Structure 1
Amino acid sequence: MKAKSIIGAAVVGLAGVAARDLTQKKHSLRRNFPVIAHARYWLEKIGPELRQYIITSNDAERPFSRDQRSWVYASSKKENNYVGFGTDNDVENLEGYVIVKHRTFAPSAPSTSVAHGHDDAVDLPAAKVLGGPRGRAHAFRPGSVVNVSAMSFGALSGNAIESLNRGVALAGALHNTGEGGLSDHHRKGGDLIFQIGTAYFGCRDEQGRFDLARLKDLVQSAPVKAIEVKLSQGAKPGLGGLLPAAKITEEISRIRGIPMGQDCASPSRHAEFDDVDSMLDWVERIAQETGLPVGIKSAVGEQDFWSDLAEQMSGRSRGVDFITVDGGEGGTGAAPLVFTDTVALPFRVGFARVYSTFARAGLTDDVAFIGSGKLGLPDNALVAFALGADMVNVAREPMFALGCIQSQKCHTDRCPTGVATQDPWLAHGLDPTLKSVRLANYLQTLRRDLLKVSEACGVPHPGLIDADAVEILDGNRLGTPLREVYGYEPGWGALGPDLARDITSIMWPERDRDTEAPESATATA
């Protein structure tokens, strides 16, 4: 009798836990997997001990280490993302380790205003105006140097896309639609970058051909601020996109204009142009018809394309407004292993080659450079800015903010947290109202960290950090300046004088009066 009572009480208790898990919205895993999901949180709690004595270190996991994921999780929840007792990295003996060189003195003490890191609402606009140098009708200055990268509805669930869009609206950032078209989930208040892929989803006719009239109607129907032409993706360049049949719902079929029941493979190349000359003609046509800034996104492989592009843009009669360089270490929902592991240069190598090509042509102030590929962590983003990036796009890190646990099930449609799936049950566990706030928290925290490190380097904006401010350690107790590692000439990676002056006046409008240091009673002018 006593055993039955114990079993009965246990069943009632578990039923209560299950009911609570199913009705709460804070944790996607508990909502999708009631009761048993608690095991993960218990294992996570004792994780430091398990890793220290049995399994692995905080830095050993890939693509993102536990330290990196934990930082995003804590930032998105407004929890303490600081660490105690100092670094656990073997700094002197790590090859490729990044060191940011702070300055002892700076032109002005850092500001204490909201825009300088002492409040949740951290404003950190881009240093360049997209479309400004080419006189686009709807040129604009992005309000955030950190924006959400291209992830299509289809690769991600509708709830995930809605969370991203609501989140960027809260954070004042931009949301790239990805090549999968513009869905209702993208229309939740966030400003958009509409991406045109090789299949022309969202702007194609019944035969799958590009349709300019449909593009114009589409961008006028939503808060589209710019257009990005996708040439390739870092994780699978030259392959085209792939949406597995398991992820194609009736809604996706309608938005993309594709059949259900079979994989949706985008072509590897565009049908509208076949060289740099025809590409620039097409870009200018779109820019003139829509009035929007138009840029390109590409991984970096052969150099001839970039040399030809810089040469043809030197005449300044045609050109792209921005270039998004995607590193080979970037993410994807589904791709062959050989492509994710070996095709396309990693971000730093590839970006440096592209930037150097445009620097030699004297064009770096006329084009906005955007980096992507694991740049959603402060140290990686700072190196991107030092190399000459004006903004960074982030993708997998926002997925962590939405609840992703790096299960690496994106290609199976069985994402346990409802982020990268079209399964209705799994997707329902992700609550856009809650997760959008977490995304905004993460974006604001990353901007705040970038701003505080910039101030440590004596400048008011990460775009003013140059290649001399960073060293790369070689693993043998020596370091090499970033400029030497990538062969940068003096001045490369830095903004031109006019751009530097403009962004400084924006970030430090009252630099002489609003500082952390009180006026000195003894210092002389």
Structure 2
Amino acid sequence: MIDFILNLAWYWWLLIVVLIVALYDIFNKKHIILRNFPVVGHFRYWLESVGPELRQYIVANNREELPFNRIERGWIYASAKNENNYEGFGTDRDIYAHQYIFINNAMMPYKVEKEHISHNEPTFLPCAKVIGAAKGRKRPFRPASVINISAMSYGSLSAKAVDAMNNGAKQVHAYHNTGEGGLSPYHKRGADVVFHIGTGYFGVRDKEGNFSMEMLKKLVKDHPQVRAIELKLSQGAKPGKGGVLPGSKITKEISEIRNVPMGEDVLSPPTHSAFEGIQGLVDFVEQIAQETGLPTGIKAAIGKLEQWEELADIMKTTGKGPDFITVDGGEGGTGAAPPSFADHVSLPWVYGFKDLYQVFQKRNMTEDIVFIASGKLGFPAKAAMAFSMGADVINVAREAMISIGCIQAQACHNNTCPTGIATQNKWLQRGIVVPEKAGRLASYFKKFNKELLEITHAAGYEHPCQFDMRDVDVSIGDTNMTQTLEYTYKYQKTPVPFESMQSLKNCPHLGGK
């Protein structure tokens, strides 16, 4: 009898709750669905909220999703977990699709002798160029890995995510770009670091928000793991667009790292205040390089070329300017951007890079510049294509996030990332076990280098820098005929001086030491 009464009471309470919700829905003035369909209308909004997850695991096919489809994510996950990342029965890609790429293998692959360095260090794959050597910088730097972590700041990523990435990068001798949020304690776990300076000058700004050379010099002096400086002009996902870090997100730690006040919104303006014009940019880059002794470069998305041509002319005439250029594709990721920017502003990497490279190639300047490529290139075949076009190094961002557990929930802008990677929510961050995730990033990088080397050998080369535009075909036109990248994009990459992998190992400027 008591059980019956308790059950009856439970039903009454449920009915009361449903009636309250129904009355609220009927009289609300904001949502048509809820006014017209009380109570049950909530299921529509719930289904919409879990739509990305439903499409990701149930609706979309293996090759359909964007930004990264299930096969791409699966390869990264398997590589990161050191599991079988092969596939059976043959490709399920439409190899006749427009712009499909084919790497031209040699009749006789490159033969790796027993004494070759690849036998002892099968994933040893450093950059073929030394950053800063051409301009005589005091501390030139040869990246010890051709795949490295792109600019992602502490603030957009969680502390544990940055910690795991830096620890993982250390294991594979990759560098870790800080992003524009400054140098955090989590960037100091032992990996080489590229210090990224954005328009907000976070970490190297005075109380008024102006750039401080003295702070930068002290940062470089106190942290020898900082091997290069990158000045951001624009970002692929939102070029020419500033940003706001809400005051509610600024913790005491972030306040101290970025040199910004607590409780106030912090603006990243769309343009720099430390210099004016192209000549000002060149002078600023030279000033940073001279004062710090470090190679200094720029990062930008590519659109109009007039100012790039002006920059190239100044560099050719004076012998001054950036030591490296990071080309960010319009398909690149970001924590938050207006769709109009992410979808339409700036060129995709392949188009932007071929335009920019030719600006410097026409002036015989490509040998003195290290070209860093960024924009969904974290897969061996895509990297081979990038090297054939003139890239020297690959930076990965979202691929690195996926390797430590990102599920592409696309909630980065809401501070509700379910994996704890792109949120400051402490409860969600607790799911990240730093040593475990560091090992996964390292494993992904190792598998990437291993497969890129295997593709390189299949094409008859020892190092990816030896690829040229004739080594990759692309499907073009309605007849699905293929042509080389040289034919398609109307230029041929300038050969990169290369002696041997062993000579790279003996370089005194090699990173990761």
TM-score by length of 2: 0.85
8 Å CA contact 2:117–2:502 kept in 1: the answer is no
Structure-2 residue corresponding to 1:463: 465
- Partner of residue 493, structure 1: 493
Contact persistence 2:147–2:174 (CA under 8 A): yes
- For 1:198, the equivalent position in structure 2 comes to 199
Q: Amino acid of the residue matched to residue 420 of structure 2?
A: G
Offset of residue 275 of structure 1: 1.2
Q: Does 1:69 align with 2:73?
A: yes
Partner of residue 284, structure 2: 282
Distance in 1 of aligned mates of 2:386 and 2:156: 27
After superposition, the Cα gap between the structure-2 partners of 1:316 and 1:468, relative to the gap in structure 1 and judged at 3 Å, is: farther
Match of 2:479 among 472, 476, 480: 476
Describe the SS at the equivalent of 1:295.
strand
Asked if structure 1 preserves the Cα contact closer than 8 Å seen for 2:180 and 2:198, the reply is: yes
> In the TM superposition, what is the alpha-carbon distance from 1:484 to its structure 2 partner?
1.8
Q: Secondary structure at the match of 2:499?
A: helix
Distance 1:61 1:416 in 2: 19
- Give the letter for the 1:169 counterpart: K
The question of whether the paired residues in 2 share the 8 Å contact of 1:153 and 1:161 is answered with yes
For structure 1, the residue ranges without an aligned partner over 5 or more in a row are 1-39, 510-525
**Residues 112, 245 of structure 1: CA spacing in aligned structure 2 closer, same or farther, 3 A cutoff?**
farther
State the secondary structure of the residue aligned to 1:419: coil
Structure 2 unaligned segments of length 5 or more: list them: 1-49, 508-513
Residue 493 of structure 1 deviates from its aligned partner by 1.9
Which letter does structure 2 place at the counterpart of 1:442?
Y
Q: How does 1:67-466 map to 2 (within 5 A)?
A: 67-92=71-96, 94-105=97-108, 108-112=110-114, 115-116=117-118, 122-222=123-223, 223-466=225-468
Q: Which one has a bigger Cα radius of gyration?
A: 2
- Pick which of 185-194 and 118-127 moved more: 118-127
Distance in 2, matches of 1:318 and 1:197, equals 21
Specify whether residues 182 and 507 from structure 1 end up closer, same or farther in structure 2 by C-alpha distance, changes over 3 A only: closer
Cα deviations across residues 58-105 of structure 1 (Å, max 9, x unaligned)?
Answer: 00011000000000000000000000000011212x111111000113
Q: CA deviation at 1:258?
A: 2.3
Partner SS state of residue 96, structure 1? coil
Change (3 A) 1:172 1:136: same
Q: Is the 8 A contact 1:246 1:413 kept in 2?
A: no
Structure 1 residues 141 and 316 mapped into 2: Cα distance closer, same or farther (>3 Å)?
Answer: farther
1:29 counterpart residue number: none
1:513 counterpart residue number: none
- Aligned-residue offset at 1:245: 4.3
Give, in angstroms, the shift of residue 227 of structure 1.
0.3
**Would you say the 8 A contact 1:465–1:494 is kept in 2?**
no
Tell me whether 400-409 or 371-380 shows the greater mean CA deviation.
Answer: 371-380
Deviation, structure 1 residue 131: 0.4
1:93-132 deviations in Å (ceiling 9; x for gaps): x1111110001135x513456853x678511010000100
Tell me: CA distance 1:380–1:263, structure 2 relative to 1, closer, same or farther (3 Å). farther
The alpha carbon displacement at 1:476 in A equals 3.3
Corresponding residue SS for 1:370: strand
Seen in structure 2, the aligned counterparts of structure 1 residues 208 and 155 have a Cα distance that, compared at 3 Å, is: same
Residue type of the partner of 2:314?
Q
Does the 8 Å CA contact 2:127/2:145 hold for their aligned counterparts?
yes
* CA positional deviation for 1:309: 1.2
2:141–2:228 Cα contact (<8 Å) kept: no
Contact 2:324 2:372 in 1 (8 A): yes
SS in 1 for 2:152: coil
CA–CA distance in structure 2, aligned partners of residues 354 and 253 of structure 1? 37
CA distance in 1 between partners of 2:124 and 2:378 (Å): 17
Offset of residue 244 of structure 1: 4.2
SS at match of 2:457: helix
Secondary structure class of the residue paired with 1:323 = strand
Shift of 1:478: 1.0
Equivalent position of 2:18 in the other structure: none
- 1:238 & 1:177 partners in 2: Cα distance? 20
Paired with 1:315 and 1:276, the residues of 2 have a C-alpha distance of 14
Shift of 1:495: 2.5
Deviation at 1:243, TM superposition (A): 3.0
Q: Distance in 2 between the 1:96 and 1:494 partners?
A: 23
Q: Using the alignment, how far apart are the partners of 2:401 and 2:246 within structure 1?
A: 20
Distance 1:219 1:121, change over 3 A: farther
Change (3 A) 1:347 1:242: farther
Q: Distance in 1 between matches of 2:173 and 2:104?
A: 30
Root mean square deviation of aligned Cα: 2.3
Supply the AA of the counterpart residue of 2:393.
Answer: M
Separation in 1, partners of 2:247, 2:122: 41
Deviation at 1:251, TM superposition (A): 1.3
Contact 2:366 2:494 in 1 (8 A): no
Q: Which amino acid aligns with 1:501?
A: E
> In percent, how many aligned pairs have the same letter?
46
Question: Could you tell me whether the CA contact under 8 Å between 1:461 and 1:504 is conserved in 2?
Answer: no
Which amino acid counterpart does residue 74 of structure 2 have in structure 1? S
Q: Does structure 1 retain, via aligned residues, the 8 Å contact 2:361–2:494?
A: no
1:297-321: CA deviation from partner (whole Å, max 9, x where unpaired)? 0000110121111111112531210
CA contact (8 A) 1:126 1:141 kept: yes
> Which range moved further: 292-301 or 245-254?
245-254
Structure 2 residue matching 1:297: 3-state secondary structure: strand
Shift of 1:246: 4.7
Across the two proteins, how many residue pairs are aligned to each other?
455
